[in-house]
Amino acid sequence: MRPVLLVFVAAGLAVAQPAVMRLGLKEAVDLALAPDGNARARIAAEMVRQAQARSAQARAALLPNVDASMVTQNQTRNLAAFGIQIQLPIPGFHFPELVGPFSTLDLRASATQSVFDISAIRRYQASRAGLTAARAESDAARNQVTDAVARAYLAALRARAALESVKANLTVAESLLKLVRSQKAAGTGTGIEVTRAEVQLANERQRLLVTENEVARADLQLLRLIGLNLGTKIALTDTLGYAPMDPITIDAARELARRSRPELKAQQGREESARLSYSAARLERVPTLAAFGDYGTIGGGIDRLLPTRSYGLALRVPLYDGGRRDARRAEAASTLRQEQIRTKDMEAQVELEARLALEAIESAGGQVQTAAEGLKLAENELAQARRRYEAGVTTSLETTDAQARLERARENRIAALVSYNAAQIDLNTALGRAQEFQGGR
């Protein structure tokens, strides 16, 4: 009965194991940019909706305003308070000072329509420019999220590459320890050589534990950026590799960045909105014209209602408001100058990022090639040192040194690949095409 129970328990544990989610860079970015993905992208989308609402509010000033009302009231009035005093030469007759109570019922619809208000038109245009800026900011936020996810994915790839390197070093250390022990058993090795190999093996096991922890931390950071449950188990489908990019000149990169960077488009939209807001403040001195009208029925009750109406035009000519319009105009002018300064600074920053990214790509490409050559030479050195030790020509110190150089060569290659892929991310982000980054395959 006990073996059967163990079988059922084992089956239950197998079922309880969480499924592993296969995740490529493109899938990670898509998940982060989904409606329920990264918080920053979601907030940016809400900012666009907020800008749309502000634009609708500004447009409402140019559209008809229609109201309907029903007012019923019972009241008394002091006629003398209104200056109504009538004296009639009739003995015993006094015109009443207090009238009422009496009831009235007023059913009425009223409407107003702006006919000419150039300042309101400018404010609406400014809100539309603000909406354009908000959409560009949303695109910028999505690019920044893509950049962050790509870097987190690259960090996870680096951790996994480091783990594979440590495992390879561990295999080499185990193999060398086995070789040293066999040499000692044959009488050609010494105890210190065995101890030295055992120390090296212990160091590699320690590095393995540290690297496994780094993999777990990198996965958690990636899951947090994507917006997935932190308990999700993932398996990355992309690998840390070298994929050369098509060459591009600095002039072409600068022009592409100026056309494509959503951050620059957003800043240009903010500058245009500030310019239109300044124009609206200046045009507040221009007279405005509005039409109004109302129609309804009024009487002492439902059975005594009579139709009444009124309509007309209202011309408003601003004369003096204590300096409020001048203050608003000065504030709007200052805001416009600030946005112009920010735009010029943003253009310079975009060019700087493009130049730095191109230089990083060129440097990292050379590092990858040099690191690959160094790794090949270190592997050959270790193989030669091992053959020499097996032949009794040298001691295990030579193999230990060669092993250490092989470990550094592997670390150098991983660092070079990470630098190149990070430079790819930098360049695509600088050119406004962060979502085109696919990483090394």
Q: How confident is the prediction for the chain on average, in pLDDT?
A: 87
Place of tokens 């060459």: 247
| Interatomic CA distance for residues 440 and 244, integer angstroms | 9
DSSP letters of 105-148? Answer: EEEEEEEEEEEE-HHHHHHHHHHHHHHHHHHHHHHHHHHHHHHH
Does any domain span residue 1? no
Query: d(Cα 239, Cα 441) in Å, to the nearest integer?
Result: 5
Whether 13 maps to a domain, the answer reads no
- Determine, yes or no, domain membership for 191: yes
Predicted confidence (pLDDT) per residue in 200-209, tens digit = 889 989 999 9
pLDDT for 78 beyond 90: no
Is 75 contained in some domain? no
Question: How many structural domains does the chain have?
Answer: 1
Structure tokens that stand for 97 in this block: 């000072």
The answer to whether residue 440 scores a pLDDT higher than 70 is no
The pLDDT score that the predictor gives to residue 18 is 61
Share of the chain above pLDDT 90, in %: 49
Is the pLDDT confidence value at 393 over 80? no
Q: How far apart are CA 297 and CA 305, in angstroms?
A: 6
Residue 117, pLDDT above cutoff 60: yes
Give the mean pLDDT of 128-144.
91
Residue 78 lies in a domain: no
Looking at the predicted structure, is the pLDDT value of residue 408 above 50? yes
Give the CATH number for residue 216.
1.20.1600.10
Residue 4's pLDDT is 43
pLDDT of residue 441: 42
| DSSP alpha helix (H) spans, 227-261 | 250-260
282 domain residue, yes or no: yes
Give the pLDDT confidence of 20-60 residue by residue, as tens digits: 899 888 999 999 988 888 888 899 999 999 999 999 999 99
Does residue 184 belong to any structural domain of this protein?
yes
Q: Please report the pLDDT score of residue 211 as a whole number.
A: 92
pTM of the model as a whole: 0.78
- The predicted structure's pLDDT at residue 13: 42
> Which domain, by its residues, includes 192?
20-66+115-287+324-436
Given a cut of 70, whether residue 5 has pLDDT beyond it is no
Output 265 or 394, whichever has higher pLDDT: 265
Residue 87 inside a domain? The answer is no
301 or 343, greater pLDDT: 343
